[in-house]
Every structure is written in C-alpha cells, then in structure tokens.
Amino acid sequence: MHDDELSTLLTAERPRPREAFVAELDARVAARFPPRPRPARAGSATRARGWAALLQRPFLPAAATVLAVGLAAIVVTLSAGDRAPRVGGVSAPSAVDGATTGGAIAVPERRATDQAAPDAQREALAPGARDLAPAPELDALKRSAPLAGRFDSARKVERSASVELGTDPERVDDVAQDVLGVVARFDAIVDQSSVQSSTDGGEARFELRVPADRLQPALAALSRLPDAHVLSRTDDTRDVNQAYVSIRRTLANARAERTGVLRALANADTEDETLRLRARLDEIERTIANAERGQRTLDRRVDYSRVSVGIHGGASGGVVPAGDDSFGIGDAAHDALRVLEVAAGVVVIVAAALVPLALLSALSWPLVRGVRRRRREQALDAV
C-alpha cells in the first residue's frame, strides 16, 4: 500500500461529528458559552466539571489550607506573645510576691492612665497593675479565673509610690500648698515634710501616708497639680500576706497556750509549779503583745500607703510649657507615627508568613504540573 493511498484511507476514516452536535455547539459558541443545565448523558466530561476544576489543581486548596493554618498559628502566637509580658508585669509571682512592681513611667502614658476613670473592679487591683495596663485589658484579666485570685482584695498588700514634680522656682511654695490640699482632700497623713524655697530655685519633700483605697485618686491628683508637671513616678507593691498569716498564726498559738497555762495554773498544787507557770505566762503575754504590735504595724502599712512627693523648682524642675496637657499637633503626629509603625510591623509579620508560603508554592508548582501531566500520560498508556 502506497503512502498516498494510506493517507487517503486514513483521511477517509476521520470521525465526523453529528450535525445535531455541530448545530448545538455552534449555538453555544455564538452565545459565548452561557451556563447550561448539565444533561444526564454528558456526565462523563461535564458532570464533574466543577469538582474537576479543584481536583485538577489540588495544590490550590492545599495551599489555601496551609495558608489559613499558618495565619491562625501566627495570630495565636502573637496573641500569646502580647499577653505574656502583660500578665507577668501585673500578676506574676515575682511582681506580687516579690519586692516591688513598677518603676519610672513615661509622663504621657501616666497622664493617660491617670485620666481614666477608676471603677470598682480596678480599685480592687494592685495599684501597679492598674497603672501599667489599660482598663479593658485589666478587666479581661479580672475575668480570667486563675488570675482573679492573684488580685484578691483579701490579700495583704503594702503599696507605696513616689512622685517627683517639677515647677518654676517661685512656685515651689504654691505647689507645696497644693500637695497639702491633696493630703487634706484624701484624708492622708503627712509623716514628714520639708520645704526650701529661694529665688534661684527651691525644693520640697513630703512623706505621706494615704489610705490605700484612695491611693490612685490621690496620685492622680498629685500628677495633675496646676503649676507642676510630673518628672517621674514610681509605684511599688509588696505582698505581705505571708508575714500577716505568720503573725496571725503566732498570735493564735500564743493565745491557745495562754489558755492552757492559765488552766494549769489554776490546778497547780505546789509553789514551784505555780512560779514556773507564772513565768511561762509572762513570756506568753510578751509574745502576744509583740505579735499584736506587729499585726497593728502591718495593718497600718497595708491600710495606709506611703507616698513620697518631691517638688523641684528651677533648672532641675524645668518649666512647664503652656498647654502641655492639651492634645496638639505634635501628639497627633506622634500617634500617627506610632500607628504607621504598628501597621508596618503587621505588614512585615504577614509578609514573613506569606513569603515562605509563596516560595513553597512557586517551587512546588512545576512538580504539581509534572505529576498531573504524568498521570494524564499514564491514562493514555492504560487505554
């Protein structure tokens, strides 16, 4: 058989479409492939077309899943990362059970927190915690059951604070008077005070005792004195619950022993025994007196917080610029810059998560295409 003859025969064997199919396809093309209900006969190729689009690109749903999981993990991680230092700073054992909490706080942040209206729940918290965290976050912490115990108001906590104020040299006396006004307003006690004023500067210092439940309003008032500005402010918190419990236990034991000794004394038969019991009773009485004194001291330290107020006039105190408390262009620019910084940080974090995924997708895409192509070729071989 010659090539031409074979070619003619092969061409003659060419399958030809049905006219009905051609007409239908022409109509669909003319209508630019409108959506159509899938006929039952067309199941082989069109029935699973929607799923086929996904199945032929298994990488897309897989990548979407990986992306979603990755983003969720990042969000969870960031949330945990944000919470960890806040919880530690407020209620970690080292902060509450240890020596101190707090430290010098930037003035603008301090001003913002001071101006926030206190509520009942916040009053129950440690002063340092109230000042270091915004109110909503503290509210969230209060709602947290494991943390709530740490803020139990029944615990004995000794609080102290230090406020350093700056003012003009000639206004040291005025500011000192204002401090005394605050003392009177909040039923505080002046333990010690000293005021030195001169033309080129001056200084005053007050050692106050402020009722613990009014400490924060008092500190806020001190921070908002009209002729002064806050140079620094420090809040300290010390958990003295352990010492309190120890004293109570010593007191209870001593009183119980005193009852026993009194009973033994009543039944004493000999003079020696009576003398010995009386000596023991005196010793117990001294122990009880010491314990009660210790408890009263502790109660005073808990009920009244020590506040040290320093007023610095002149160069050391600086001059309060007019309208410092108002929200100006500078503050707005600062806040805007901060917002941009946070936004940029978020972008960097998202990019850090997406770039590896994108690289992974780009690297694996040829592999996916190769696998798909091989499967198709295998389908042809299997015919």
Partner 1 sequence: MDRAQRRSRDVNATMTATSPTAIDVSWERFEALYRSSRDDVYAYVATLLREPAAAEDVTALAFERAYRRRRSFDRARGNERAWLFGIARNAALDELRRRRRLARLAVDPEDLAAADVLASTDDVADEALRRTALRDALDRLAPRERELVALKFHAGLSNAEIARVLGVSESNAGTLLHRTIAKLRKACDA
Residues whose CB falls within 8 Å of the CB of residue 95, separated by 6 or more in sequence, listed in order: 88, 89, 101, 128, 237
**What x-and-dash track marks residues 47-76 binding partner 1 by CB under 8 A?**
-xx--x---x--------------------
Find the part of the chain contacting partner 1 (CB under 8 A) among 19-27, 98-106, 175-183, 321-329: 19-27
CA 4 – CA 6 distance, rounded (Å): 5
**What x-and-dash track marks residues 183-212 binding partner 1 by CB under 8 A?**
------------------------------
**Applying CB under 8 A, which of residues 145, 266, 322, 380 lies at the interface with partner 1?**
380
**Strand 229-239 with 201-211, pairing:** unpaired
**Closer to partner 1 by Cβ: residue 42 or 104:** 42
CA 120 – CA 135 distance, rounded (Å): 11
Is residue 165 within 8 Å of 309, Cβ to Cβ? yes
Distances (CA, A) of 43 to 78, 224, 276: 49, 80, 109
Asked if 322 is part of the footprint of partner 1 (rule: CB under 8 A), the reply reads: no
Asked if 23 is part of the footprint of partner 1 (rule: CB under 8 A), the reply reads: no
**Closer to partner 1 by Cβ: residue 48 or 84:** 48
Asked if 381 is part of the footprint of partner 1 (rule: CB under 8 A), the reply reads: yes
Is residue 303 within 8 Å of 212, Cβ to Cβ? yes
Is residue 182 within 8 Å of 221, Cβ to Cβ? yes
Residues 350-379 that bind partner 1 (CB under 8 A): 375-379
Residues whose CB falls within 8 Å of the CB of residue 217, separated by 6 or more in sequence, listed in order: 118, 186
**Applying CB under 8 A, which of residues 37, 41, 199, 270 lies at the interface with partner 1?**
41
Asked if 263 is part of the footprint of partner 1 (rule: CB under 8 A), the reply reads: no
Asked if 338 is part of the footprint of partner 1 (rule: CB under 8 A), the reply reads: no
Asked if 37 is part of the footprint of partner 1 (rule: CB under 8 A), the reply reads: no
Per-residue DSSP letter, 44 = I
CA 87 – CA 148 distance, rounded (Å): 12
**Applying CB under 8 A, which of residues 44, 199, 267, 270 lies at the interface with partner 1?**
44
Q: Which residues bind partner 1 (CB under 8 A)?
A: 1, 3, 5-7, 9-18, 21-22, 25, 28-29, 32-33, 41-42, 44-46, 48-49, 52, 56, 375-383
